[in-house]
Amino acid sequence: MKTFKIIEKSKILFVISLAIMITGLAFFIKNGINYGIDFKGGTLVQINMKKDFNKQDVENIITKYANDYTTNTAVNEKNETQLEIRSNSLDESEIQPLFKDIKDKYKLEDKDLISQQTIGPAVGQELRQKAMLAFVLANIAMLIYVAIRFEFKFGVAAILAIVHDILITVSVYAIFQIPINSSFIAAILTIAGYSINDTIVIFDRIRENTKKMRRVNSKELANISITQTMSRSINTTLTTLITIVSVYIFVPSVREFAFPLAIGIACGAYSSIFIASPVWVMLKNRKIKEA
């Protein structure tokens, strides 16, 4: 089997990731983060559509009145389809014209406007702090676990890979000004767990090969281990992404969770191969030079 020279190209790969993060930081400084209704509060409108409808046609109508919104659908006990619209910028005075456009297109009745209300932020400062605390504690726990199972250098490399995945995901949201809601927090914590799982597969192979190939240097050892596990990593990631993309397309109500999850899982596979392993080699070689 031909061995891929991944470690030798690590500097180029680091630059690519750094470029995305710097671009995200620039957009963050310029425009900030687009917090959704869960963070900032806003307007909630619920409409009984009765039957299936063309989502794109409805969103074209909503766009006339609000430039930032999210939509969800649900089915009630009568098997009727209900539409939920959340927006930060939708004014109360625009709700009736918005509903009238949708009502005329789909021949609805006045009573099909189920509710309209202004809601406060569901995700307060306290919840954001707790989410950050959960993320930090999870990373500390994973660092301890990897350090005990492997060695401390593996743990540091794994945590840096997770931080990389989170920063890339946040950068994408900052660049494209995608609204961040409570589901984003859940997705970030899920990404951390997936990323460490993918990284451990490669690290486990490195540990096995260390015992078999005692005379091979750390760079070659990492290249061999990555080559041996790459097909598994790619296949696992692709099957997972196919599932998540399918959920994103066919289950609109969980799109806010599925979208960041898809980005994070793709980044997780990338970082496990192109970030975590090269960082481990750098730490390993640094120790050898110091010795």
Domain boundary among 98, 119, 140: 119
Say whether both 226 and 158 belong to one domain: yes
DSSP secondary structure of 223-269: HHHHHHHHHHHHHHHHHHHHHHHHHHHH-GGGHHHHHHHHHHHHHHH
Residue where the block lists tokens 């990593």: 233
DSSP secondary structure of 20-76: HHHHHHHHHHHH---B-HHHH-EEEEEEE--S---HHHHHHHHHTT-SSEEEEEEE-
pLDDT, tens digit only, all 291 positions of the chain: 678 888 888 889 899 999 999 999 999 999 888 877 777 778 889 999 988 888 888 889 999 998 778 787 877 778 888 888 888 788 888 999 999 999 999 999 999 999 888 776 665 567 677 778 888 888 888 888 888 888 888 999 999 999 999 999 999 989 988 888 778 888 888 888 888 888 888 999 999 998 888 888 889 999 999 999 988 888 989 999 999 999 888 877 688 888 899 998 999 889 998 999 999 999 888 765 555
285 in any annotated domain: yes
88 in any annotated domain: yes
Say whether both 80 and 148 belong to one domain: no
Say whether both 153 and 220 belong to one domain: yes
Say whether both 14 and 156 belong to one domain: yes
Contact 224, 206 (CB under 8 A): no
What confidence score (pLDDT) does residue 148 get?
A: 86
1 in any annotated domain: no
Q: How many domains does the chain have?
A: 2
What confidence score (pLDDT) does residue 171 get?
A: 93
What confidence score (pLDDT) does residue 288 get?
A: 57
177 in any annotated domain: yes
Which residue segment(s) compose the domain that 106 sits in? 42-119
What confidence score (pLDDT) does residue 287 get?
A: 61
Say whether both 31 and 151 belong to one domain: yes
283 in any annotated domain: yes
* CATH label of the domain that carries residue 246: 1.20.1640.10
What confidence score (pLDDT) does residue 102 get?
A: 93
Say whether both 128 and 102 belong to one domain: no
Torsion angle (degrees, nearest 10) of CA 240, 241, 247, 253: 110
What confidence score (pLDDT) does residue 248 get?
A: 87
pTM for the predicted model, two decimal places: 0.77
* CATH label of the domain that carries residue 85: 3.30.70
